[in-house]
A and B are shown apart, each in its own frame.
Chain A
C-alpha cells in the first residue's frame, strides 16, 4: 500500500498541506463575530417574522380556525392557514424507489385536515417581529377534535390501533426482509446461539444554531432568494423549485455559515417550506428561526429502535451467523426526500459488518406513529447496528468463555482479505480491522487495564472495559439516494480560477457546517495548485456561485468535494504552466508550481511568479504568441463509481466506573482508532472523532426524547433533555491507521460519523463488564442511574 501512496501525484506534491493541521481560514471571521448565519442577514424593514401555532395534540383533526384576534394584534402582517398555502405549492411524499414498498402520505407545508404530532406547525403568523408573532400565535383559536394517538411502535400495526393515514390502509411504512447464506444450517452447526434485545431511545441532534430560513421572493425579477442553514443548497434549490412550481434557475439558495447540522439540517421541513410560501404569498422577505422549544418538537429525531439480535458461535469462538429483527417508529410521515427508512435500511445492511461470517437474516419494520418525525442524524443506523453487533459479540464471548478482545481477533476480517464483500453483499475496498484493534489494545494497555479492573473489584470498585469494532459508510455514490429517484447530488464540483495577481479563487459544492470544511478544501486546493493557503479565496454554499454539488452529509464533503478540488486544482496548475511555458519558451513538463511560484521542476529554481503569469495573461495577452489563448479557470467534478460507499473502519474502547449504590456511571477514559484513509487535517479529523464520540455518548447515557402515552414530549427543553456536558465526559484519545481509497487521487474517506457509530457500543459493553459480578445486564439506552439501580435490584 505504501508504494501506491508514493505514486500519487497529489500526496507527493512538494510543499504539501495535506496531513498538516493548518488553521481554519474562516476562524478569524467567526471569532470576530463576522459570521454570516441566516439570522445575521438583513433584508430590510419589510421583513416579516414567522411564528407558528403548533399542535398541542399528537393527533387531532383541525376544525375551524379563528384568527380574527390574531390578525388584529399589533404588528401582525398575516395569519395563514394550510389551505391558503396549499394554493401555491404541491405536497411531497418521502419515498425512494430502491426502498421497495416504502410508503408515506402527501405532506403539505401546513397540514390541511389533521395534525399528526405534537408540535406540528398548523397556522403561520407573520409579524413585524418574532415577539409580535408569538404574541399573536397565542390569540389563534383552533377547534380541535382530538383523535387517538398512535405512540407505541410495538402495537402500531395491531388491528385495533388507529390508522394515521386512512389512504395508506395501515400504519406500516416499510418492511424489509433480508436473507443471506443459510442461517438455519449455521444454527445447526453452532455450539451456542445467544439472543438479546437492544433498545435505542429516540434522541436528536442539538445544533448550537437552530434551523433558520429567510426567504425573499422578488416578483419583479421572478427570483426567489433563500438564505437557509441547510447542508445541501442544491438539493433545497431543486425542492423549492419543484414544489413551488418555479424554474430552478430562478431559485437561489445561500447557506454560508451553519452552526452545526449533524444531519438535522439535511431535510425538507414543512415549517421551512411554509416560510418560503409565506414570502411568495406576501411578496416580502419572511424569516423563520426555530427557537429551542420548537426545535425539540420539530427537528428530526432519530434512532428509536428495538432490535432483537441473535448470534451463532462455535466453541472455538468462530462466529457463524447474525440475525436481527428491528422495529422502529418514525413519526407520522416519512421525511422528504431522504425518507425515514434509511436508518433501518442501514441497520439491515451493516450489522455484523466488521466480521467474517456468511449467514445472515434480518427483518426491519418501520411504522408510523404520532410523534415527531424521524430521519437521518449523524451516523445513521450506525450506533444501532454497532451496539447490536458488539453486544452480541460480547455475548458470544461470554458463551464461549473467551476474552472480548480475543473473540474479536478471531472473527474480524483479515487485513489482507480485501477487496471482499460483506455477508450482505456490500463491497469492502480496503479496511484494517485487525491493525486497528491491535493499535487500540496497545493504546489502552488492555492487559494492564484488565488487571486494574480486577484488583479494584476486590475493593468494591466496579469498573468495566468495553470494546467496539465498527465500519462506517462514507463517500456515498449515487447508490445511496440518486438510484432511488431522489434529486440529491452524489457528485461534487469545484471551480478554481487564477486571478490577475496570482491568487486562486475556489468555489466548491461542499459546504461548511462548522466542521472545518473550508480548511480541508483550502489544503487540497493549495496542494494541488502549489500555492500557500493564504492565497486562496474559498466560496461555499451558494447555488449561484458554486458548481453543482451534494453538500455535506454521510461523511462525503472531504472525500468527494475534496477530490473535485484536487482535480480542479491539478487542471488549473496545468493551465498555468502552459501559459508560463509560453512566456518562458520552455516545455510545460519541465515546470511546476511551488509556493506560488512557477519553478523549474528538476532544480526547483524560480522562473516566474503567478502574479506575473496573471498580469501577462489578463493585461498583456498581446505579448503572447498568436494562436495562444490562456485559460486560467478549471472546473472538475467527481463521484465515486467503483464502490457504492467508501467504507471506513475503526475500533473504540470505553473504561468506566459504576457506583453500584447510586447507579451513576462515570466515564473514565475513551479511545478510538480510526481508519479514514488519507488524513487531510489531523486536528480536524480528531475533533470530528471526538465530537462524534460525544454525540454517541449522549445517546448511550443521557439523551432521550421522552414521550408519554398520549404522544406528548415531556422534556422538550434544554433543562430536561440532557445533552452531554464537558464535566461528565472522559478524555478521548484518537489514533489512526491509514488505508486510503484507491478510487480517488486524494484517498480520503469520511470521518464525520465514526465517533458516534462506536461510542454507544463501547459504553454498553463496558457497563456490562462493570456489572459482571452482579446478575445485572443492561441493553436499553440511555443507561440511566435508575435503570442501573433496577438492574442491580437496589430499587
Chain B
C-alpha cells in the first residue's frame, strides 16, 4: 500500500494552483483534505503524476453569511462545518448530516469542498447540496463560474468540474420560512458510507406539505432526486396512507444499485422506510 511515484506542488495562490492544474491537465489531482484521495493512491487505484495541494491557498476556507444564505469555502474542514452555529441555523440539513460523515479524525482533515468535488454517490454532502439547491463556485483559467448542484453531479465520481478547475466555495441558500429539512441514513456501522440515505428539504405550512425535494444517496451513480414521489406530498398532511403511497412511488421511481450490503429490492424497501421516518416528524 505505497502509492505510485508522484510529484507534488503546494501553490500559495489560487492562480498558481489553477496554472499547475492547467499545465498537467488530467495527469494532476487536487489534494485537499486527502481523506479519500490518499487511500486511493495507497491502494494504487489512482496514480496521478502530480498532486496540487491547495491547503495553503488563501481564502478557500471559512463559513460566512451572505444575503442569500451561506458561503462555505471548499477547504472548510468538516469539523468546522459541524461546529458552526451559522450552519446549524441557516442550513440545518447540512448540520444534521455532518455527524454521519465518517469519524471525528476524518472530519478534522476532510473538507466540505473535497466531499462535493469527489461526488461519491453514497456521500452525504452531495445529496444535501442537491436537496438545498446549492450552487458551486468554480475557478479556472478563464475566470469564475457557478453551477447548480443539479447540474454539477453528473455521474459516478463525475462532476461539472473540468480539468484545470478548482471548486472554491459552495453557496447554500438559507432555509426559508415554512421550510423544514430532515436527514437520515442507514449504514452497517456508524461512519461508513451509507447503504442508503435521504436528505429531505420540504415546505410545511400548518401541518401540510408543499413543495419539496427528497434526495436519496447510495442508490445510484449520483444523488437521486425523487421528483415524482416528492410531488405526492404537495398539499397533503402526514398520514400512514400517504407514507405508503410515497413508499410505493419510490419503488417505482428509484432504480438502485446493488452491492455487498444491499440488493436493489432492499434499497427500494429502505427508501420507503426512510421517507416515512424523515417526513412524519416534519409534518408534526
Residues of chain A having any CB pair with chain B under 8 Å: 129-131, 134-135, 138, 291-293, 661-664, 702, 706, 714-715, 717, 719-720, 722, 724-725, 727-728, 784-786, 789, 794-795
The A-contacting residues of B in range 11-64, CB under 8 angstroms, are: 39, 43-44
CB atoms of B186 and A664 under 8 A apart: yes
Q: Are A786 and B5 in contact (CB under 8 A)?
A: no
User: Does the CB pair B188–A795 fall under 8 Å?
Assistant: no
Which residues of chain A come closer than 8 Å to B189, judged between CB atoms? 702, 722, 724-725, 727-728
Q: With a CB–CB cut-off of 8 A, which chain B residues contact A293?
A: 1, 43
Chain A's nearest CB lies how many Å from the CB of B195?
A: 8
**Beta-carbon contact of A795 and B2 below 8 Å:** no
What are the nearest 7 A-B pairs in CB distance? A131-B2, A291-B1, A727-B190, A795-B265, A661-B273, A725-B189, A134-B2
B260 CB–A CB distance under 8 Å: yes
Complex CA–CA separation, A727 to B270 (angstroms): 22
Determine if B227 is an interface residue (Cβ-Cβ < 8 Å): no
Known contacts A727-B191, A728-B189; is A130 also within 8 Å of B2 by CB?
yes
- Bound-state CA distance A291–B265 (Å) is 36
Would B190 and A706 count as touching, CB distance under 8 A? no
A-B contact pairs, 18 of them (CB 8 A): A134-B44, A293-B1, A663-B266, A702-B189, A715-B260, A722-B188, A722-B189, A725-B191, A727-B190, A784-B188, A785-B186, A785-B188, A785-B261, A786-B266, A789-B269, A795-B263, A795-B265, A795-B266
Instruction: List B53-99 residues whose CB lies under 8 Å from chain A.
Output: none
Determine the distance from Cα of A135 to Cα of B2 in the docked complex, in whole angstroms: 9
Is B4 positioned at the interface, with any CB of A under 8 Å from its CB?
A: yes
Contact of A789 (CB < 8 Å), options: B4, B5, B43, B266? B266
B266 / chain A contacts, CB cutoff of 8 Å: 663, 785-786, 789, 795
Beyond A662-B270, A728-B190, A789-B269, whether A135 also contacts B260 by CB under 8 A is: no
Contacts of B193 in A (CB 8 A): 719
What residue of chain A has the Cβ atom nearest to residue B4's Cβ? A135
- By a CB distance below 8 angstroms, the chain B residues around A714 are 260
- CB proximity to A under 8 Å, residues B88-126: none
Query: Chain B contacts of A794 at CB under 8 A?
Result: 269
Instruction: Bin the interface of chain B by size.
Output: 20 to 34
How many angstroms between the C-alpha atoms of A591 and B207 in the bound complex? 87
| Assembled-state Cα–Cα distance A166/B188 (Å) | 42
Query: Which residue of chain A lies nearest to B269 when distances are taken between CB atoms in the complex?
Result: A795
Nearest Cβ on chain B to A227's Cβ, whole angstroms = 21
**Other 14 A-B pairs with CB < 8 A, given A722-B189, A722-B192, A785-B188:** A662-B186, A714-B260, A717-B43, A719-B192, A725-B189, A725-B190, A725-B191, A785-B195, A785-B262, A786-B261, A786-B266, A795-B263, A795-B266, A795-B269
Partner of A292, one of B1, B261, B263: B1
- Please encode chain B, from 243 to 282, with 1 for each CB lying within 8 Å of some chain A CB and 0 for all others: 0000000000000000011110110011001000000000
- Measured between alpha carbons, how far is A663 from B4 in the docked complex, in Å? 41
A482 CA / B174 CA spacing, docked (Å): 73
B116 CB to closest chain A CB (Å) equals 20
- Residues of the B chain whose Cβ atoms lie less than 8 Å from the Cβ of A725: 189-191
Chain A: minimal CB distance from B252 (Å): 16
Q: Shortest Cβ distance from B123 into chain A, in angstroms?
A: 13
- On chain B, the residues within 8 Å of A719 by CB distance are 39, 192-193
Q: Provide the bound-state CA to CA distance between A715 and B261, in Å.
A: 11
B137 to chain A, nearest CB (A): 30
